[in-house]
Structure formats: structure tokens, C-alpha cells
């Protein structure tokens, strides 16, 4: 059993080897890939139980005793196919640094504070139109040691699961106007300028909540000429 998807969107995705992004030198394959046929259970087996997504998992600001520090934001959008149709019921997960640019992770020891009220992970299931919505705080930029004075632009990691485990896609969402864009080898590992722009959310004043939170829209296009660049292609 083989699923066939259009392949023109593959041009949008970063090459496995992007030498300016240093870890790809060791991480990228040295030999041509061996294509394995997917098994029936990989293509049709259940990925996750709908019941495991809880009602408030989309709100990263209410996971602890108090609210996290930082700028509260709404991030929402649609998961879309190549024809602009919503992809219903996709599992959308995100993870991110806190407002100071620090992750809760053993290898993130740079001198910025952890926030006891912020874990930095959330998930939700898109509705029947492919619409999803998160409430979180705006992540900070952080240093990452790729080269001298290397800083990641503020970003949120996204994972989208479709109908099967092998359909997982991973990308990063950025914020408009970030001065770090020209200096970030990960952002620039997507070599096509228009494709890079599709990783940048748009400020959404219409859905900004007065006195409460700014809003950003980020549509995730799974394939086709408007595909969002993905890390796992």
C-alpha cells in the first residue's frame, strides 16, 4: 500500500545538509536514502487517542498555580491542504522557550531564568475546518552556540499529525519583523525567500483581544506550492 502525494512542495523544505547550521553536518545522511515501504499499520493505525487531548491543553498560561511572566499571545490558524481546504481533526502540538528565551531542558543552561509557571508545551486538535487556537506567551530569543554570537529568532516549534503516525510534520513559526532573521542559519536553511516568509506568522489585529492579548495567525499548509517548510521532509 502506497500513498502518493504531490512532490512539487518538496522544493520549499530545507536540505538535510545546511553547513551553516552546524549540527546538520553530522546529522545529515552521507549515502542515498533506502526507501522503506510503509506497512499497513503505519498508514492506518491509530496515532493517538482523541481522549488524551484535554480541554485546556491549548492554553499554556493556566498549567500552573499562577500565570507565566511575559507577553500573553493568541496563536491561531488553519491546517490546510494544497487546495486550501482545512484538514479536520489534525493533532497540533507546540513547544517553545519562555519569555526569557529559556527551555526547561537539561542542556539549556544559559543564564536566563526559568519560569515556575511555564512549561512551554501544549496541544490541541483542529476542528472540522482544520482550525486550531493556542494561548501562550511570546517566547524570547536565545543563544545557541552554532557560531560566535548566534541567537535564534523568537520561534515556536509546531508538530502536526495527520491520519497516521508517518504523516507527522514538524516546523517552526516565527514572528514578523524579527531583526535576527538574516543571521539565523536554521531560518535561512530554507533557501527560497517566499517559502521562508511562509514560516512567519502575521500579526492579527482583528483577533487581538483588547486589554488581554495580541494575536498572531499561522496557517500550516501541508503540501503544494504554498507548503509551509517542514523539518522532517
Q: Kindly state the cell numbers that stand for 166.
A: 508517518
> Which residues, in sequence order, are bridge partners of residue 95?
121, 157
Q: Give the distance, in angstroms, between the CA of residue 9 and the centroid of all CA atoms in the same chain.
A: 18
Phi, psi of 52 (to 5 degrees): -85, -10
* Distance in angstroms (rounded) separating the CA atoms of residues 134 and 44: 28
Say if CB 111 and CB 50 are below 8 A apart. no
C-alpha cell at 7: 512532490
Beta-carbon contacts of 69 under 8 Å, excluding residues fewer than 6 positions away, are: 98, 99, 115, 117, 118, 137
Beta partners for residue 135, in sequence order? 59, 74
Positions annotated as catalytic residues are 103, 142, 152, 155, 157
Amino acid at each position: 500500500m502506497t500513498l502518493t502525494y504531490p512532490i512539487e512542495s518538496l522544493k520549499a523544505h530545507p536540505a538535510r545538509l545546511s553547513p551553516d547550521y552546524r549540527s546538520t553536518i553530522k546529522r545529515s545522511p552521507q549515502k542515498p536514502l533506502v526507501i522503506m515501504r510503509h506497512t499497513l499499520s503505519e498508514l492506518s493505525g491509530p496515532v493517538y487517542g482523541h481522549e488524551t487531548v484535554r480541554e485546556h491543553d491549548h492554553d499554556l498560561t493556566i498549567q500552573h498555580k499562577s500565570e507565566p511572566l511575559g507577553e500573553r499571545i493568541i496563536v491561531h490558524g488553519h491546517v490546510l491542504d494544497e487546495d486550501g481546504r482545512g484538514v479536520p481533526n489534525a493533532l497540533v502540538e507546540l513547544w517553545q522557550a519562555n519569555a526569557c528565551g529559556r527551555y526547561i531542558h537539561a542542556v539549556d543552561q544559559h543564564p536566563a531564568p526559568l519560569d515556575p509557571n511555564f512549561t512551554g508545551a501544549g496541544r490541541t486538535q483542529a476542528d472540522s475546518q482544520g482550525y486550531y487556537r493556542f494561548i501562550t506567551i511570546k517566547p524570547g530569543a536565545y543563544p545557541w552556540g552554532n557560531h560566535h554570537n548566534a541567537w535564534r529568532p523568537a520561534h515556536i516549534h509546531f508538530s502536526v499529525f495527520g491520519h497516521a503516525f508517518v504523516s507527522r510534520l514538524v516546523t517552526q513559526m516565527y514572528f514578523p519583523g524579527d531583526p535576527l532573521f538574516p543571521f539565523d542559519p536554521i531560518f535561512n536553511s530554507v533557501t527560497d525567500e517566499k517559502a521562508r516568509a511562509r514560516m512567519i506568522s502575521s500579526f492579527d489585529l482583528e483577533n487581538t483581544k483588547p486589554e488581554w492579548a495580541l494575536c498572531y495567525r499561522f496557517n500550516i499548509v501541508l503540501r503544494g506550492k504554498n507548503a509551509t517548510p517542514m523539518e522532517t521532509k
